[in-house]
Structure 1
């Protein structure tokens, strides 16, 4: 008798989530659905079953898990996606579906870095100070409204989606990474950036901007991560997630499918 594949719901939207999803493509041990929030108009998607949009809160997620007979929930959302991660933990517990969280490590400053670490976006805005500065904002298009309270600065804003609300005196770049060190260094110098504002997202895809800031002597205001609820199992990278999935699959069913 052929063992059915492990039914997985993968909550994505990050580079790690996409890499994990692509590693599952064609692997007959798994039947994965890749889910994104739908905030990006043209998201990068794997060759898997995909869904776009919210679930309707915890109750909606529980209903989906049960209706689709999901056996494993994987949370690989952004480190600042507090609501979705919280919903995933609660839905996992109530539906009796194990939860694996792929949470990449945060960035940490080195000796030559000029970091100012703050608790949230509002604090980042205050940390810019009263004197006009040239500021590079890389916090995403949903967090720009706070900087309208500091109109004295000249802003360079980089987002994947065009912002609907933005501070005055700004230049907007609609670009999708990753960006390499040479690109980031050139951008900082071209716009004579004095301060970079970023969330502590972690990961390699956007880390070159920090290296460029270090080289150029640019101050970096870093919004620290929110506290996330604990999952059943947490890993820090895609290889560790794949290893855990393989072990979980082997323990939960006979391995007669092959790869």
Structure 2
């Protein structure tokens, strides 16, 4: 199983990339991947997406250590995902209060993939906007550029909030799965080329398997899109792709 990832600042952004990504093992046979997209109209949104990513990494490490001492390990991916998000809820609330942060400093979308390598099953949740591709089927979650950010709900009961989440996809028999921020839909021509070849950037990044033997597969694809096809994303872009 190969895991590829890439993070790139959008052509319309100058100072910071407001997207973030993380891939982290949880114990011996579970993997968590997440991509985040900070709200451009909020405050220092690169901080929000990075903070969510760092906290998710911390949660994965702690749960990995905890697994070493547990005798019961028969949880399913959704139970694990729910436990991770519950801890994230708690940690973000604590940081918000401790640093006296404004809500606008914590606005970021969040797409999380949790995969059980032993049982070959997983789940993906998209909180806000994002794109998911599972074994050839693509699902785009889009809310007219008005994402329902997790931070809006920190004062609510977690169980009730989680029960209202509908942007979840369960899957089995992983072959080729990707998660991406909505920057993947923002590619435009930025320069003329000396040929008439056309390409769909989304299909090229999420379906095409050229250079799959390189850890830098997605980076190589972005370079080819820019230098051969003259295309770049105008919005920040984060992609994680798993090929088995």
- Fold match (TM-score > 0.5): no
The TM-score, its normalising length taken from structure 1, stands at 0.21
Which structure has more relative contact order (CA 8 Å, sep 6+)? It is: 2
Bigger Rg over Cα: 1
The TM-score, its normalising length taken from structure 2, stands at 0.22
